[in-house]
Amino acid sequence: MEKTIEYLRKKITIQPELGLILGSGLGGLAEEITDPLYIPYEEIPNFPVSTVEGHVGRLVIGKLAGVPVLTMQGRFHYYEGYDMKTVTFPIRVMQSLGIKKLLVTNAAGGINLDYTAGAIMVITDHINLTGTNPLIGKNMEGYGPRFPDMTYSYTPKYVALAQKKAQELNIEVKTGVYVGLTGPSYETPAEIKFLRIIGGDAVGMSTVPEVIVARHGGMDVLGISCITNMAAGISGEALNHEEVMETANRVRGDFRSLVLAIIPDM
């Protein structure tokens, strides 16, 4: 971490206030960043490198809607074979750089039957079904407490802010609970039924580890999901990654407007 931070501190000339993680198909938002400094992951000492199609794999530092941001264009997933410490390493980097706010986005499958593909969901809570936790192991007291509270993990005032901005922009947003699984296989219809019964509204393969680490580090978090498809067994159609990318691309206009409206007030 020391090497990583030393390298980034030398390169970065602004103090980023907000960490932004752009999920599958949502990376285009990084093109909006003014005076961008691009740092490919492979150039950063000890930084992992991403492998998923649709994920570029670089940090973009600059201003978004006037706010100094450090953006991850492409994130790391447990299903890629990284351990949880590696998946969440970038969050520790943000924390070490003094960033106290995180906006995390993802593509997710809709479990809630009121949703349709293309919906935007503001995350109010999550269920960790990855079977593990990125904080397992010796606690690093410098980062946060052994047993961090998760009651207000998705900062309520950010949820309210996102809803207010959506209303002003006439963009419909849902609120709901995100269930995080490891993937990479999509869920079975029986699993989706189960996830609905336990209170899930959307399902995906990211976000939960990052949010746990961000909360451990005392960051305030806003999470926004793009419901790229209805989850397995709902429509009767098979799921595929192309559909996920297509829907994310279709929603990009609203997604962009919403994020740009939200971040100056976070």
The angle, 0 to 180 degrees and rounded to 10, between the axes of the packed helices 156-169 and 241-262 is 90
Annotated catalytic residue 225? no
Tell whether residue 134 is a contact of ligand HPA (CB under 6 A): no
Phi-psi region of 178 (alpha: psi -120 to 50; beta: other; left: phi over 0): beta
Would you say 43 and 37 are in contact if contact means Cβ atoms under 8 Å apart? no
Would you say 214 and 238 are in contact if contact means Cβ atoms under 8 Å apart? no
Annotated catalytic residue 140? no
Query: DSSP E strands: which ranges in 67-100?
Result: 67-73
Tell whether residue 229 is a contact of ligand HPA (CB under 6 A): yes
* C-alpha to C-alpha distance for 15 and 175, rounded to whole angstroms: 31
Angle (nearest 5°) at CA 112 between 185 and 110: 35
Site stretch for ligand HPA (CB under 6 A), options 41-49, 80-88, 226-234, 251-259: 226-234
Minimum CB–partner distance for residue 238 and ligand HPA (Å): 11
Of positions 39, 201, 228, 266, contacts ligand HPA by CB under 6 A:
228
Q: Binders of ligand HPA among 176-195, rule CB under 6 A?
A: 186-187
Among all residues, whose Cβ is closest to ligand HPA?
Answer: 109
Site stretch for ligand HPA (CB under 6 A), options 40-48, 82-90, 102-110, 127-135: 102-110
* C-alpha to C-alpha distance for 161 and 155, rounded to whole angstroms: 10
Catalytic pick among 84, 107, 119, 230:
107
Quick one: 105 or 228, whose CB is closer to ligand HPA? 228
Residue numbers of the site for ligand HPA (CB under 6 A)? 107-109, 186-187, 203-205, 228-229, 231, 239, 244
